[in-house]
Amino acid sequence: MDGVTVIDHPLVQHKLTIMRKKETSTAGFRRLLREISTLLCYEVTRDLEMTMETIETPLQEIQSPVLEGKKLVFASILRAGNGLLEGMLELVPSARVSHIGVYRDHDTLQAVEYFFKAPDDIAERLIIVVDPMLATGNSAIAAIDKLKERGAHNIRFLCLLAAPEGIKSFRKHHPDVRVYTASIDSHLNENGYIVPGLGDAGDRMYGTK
């Protein structure tokens, strides 16, 4: 699918299968989400820009590549996005973090922002927006609208599962933003849940249902 990368690494797919099982406990789900987030982070950062640093090995001085880590922002869409953050920050501890609370008003269809915190210089950074589920795409679209209003223009979107309907809508609104996902599932049901999916990601990771 155009503009979408499916991360089909065997470890990702194995962990995702366990997360989908309805009998997987809250603790297990949370642990797996943390593990899988590091693997997803590995793929979404595969082509990050590097810079050369002069270092000394015990044998000689060399030019060696390091990440331009200060240039990265992980933007979590509240609340489920936070489940992906921890593992990602373990891999890239120097990344900055943004939190975005946003929903789409049912009547006006306008994005309503209830929380937004991001570094001032997001225009100069690569923003990786994270939310485990790309369902209707509404909150991801709204969150990225808000980031763009503040100058962000180099953006990627990372999720665990995506529905075809959500991808279509998302790509229509933000064709410049590549989507990274571990799976494109069958469809959305009448309640906006991804089928077969894994249920409500926030509830499963925080045990709120």
Kindly list the residues in this chain that would bind ligand URA in the complex (CB under 6 A).
80, 133, 135, 192-194, 197, 200-202
Indicate the pairing of strand 161-162 with strand 178-181.
unpaired
Q: Which of 34, 79, 145, 200 is catalytic?
A: 200
Look up 136 and say whether it is catalytic.
no
Look up 96 and say whether it is catalytic.
no
Task: Specify whether the CB–CB gap between 74 and 128 falls below 8 A.
Answer: yes
The distance of closest approach from Cβ of residue 200 to ligand URA in the complex, given in angstroms and rounded to an integer, is 4
Q: Which of 8, 105, 121, 203 is catalytic?
A: 203
Closer to ligand URA by Cβ: residue 104 or 153: 104
Closer to ligand URA by Cβ: residue 84 or 201: 201
The distance of closest approach from Cβ of residue 161 to ligand URA in the complex, given in angstroms and rounded to an integer, is 7
Structure-token pair, residue 104: 């789409």
Look up 26 and say whether it is catalytic.
no
Beta strands in the chain (DSSP E): 4-6, 50-56, 61-67, 72-77, 96-104, 111-117, 126-130, 133-134, 154-158, 161-162, 178-181, 183-184, 187-188, 194-195
Of 209, 72, 188, nearest to 133 (Cα)?
Answer: 188
Closer to ligand URA by Cβ: residue 126 or 133: 133
Q: Which of 57, 107, 108, 120 is catalytic?
A: 108
Look up 108 and say whether it is catalytic.
yes
Q: How far apart are CA 33 and CA 52, in angstroms?
A: 33
Residue labelled with tokens 């997360």: 19
Closer to ligand URA by Cβ: residue 75 or 205: 205
The distance of closest approach from Cβ of residue 132 to ligand URA in the complex, given in angstroms and rounded to an integer, is 7
Q: Which of 104, 136, 156, 178 is catalytic?
A: 104
Report the catalytic residues. Answer: 104, 108, 200, 203
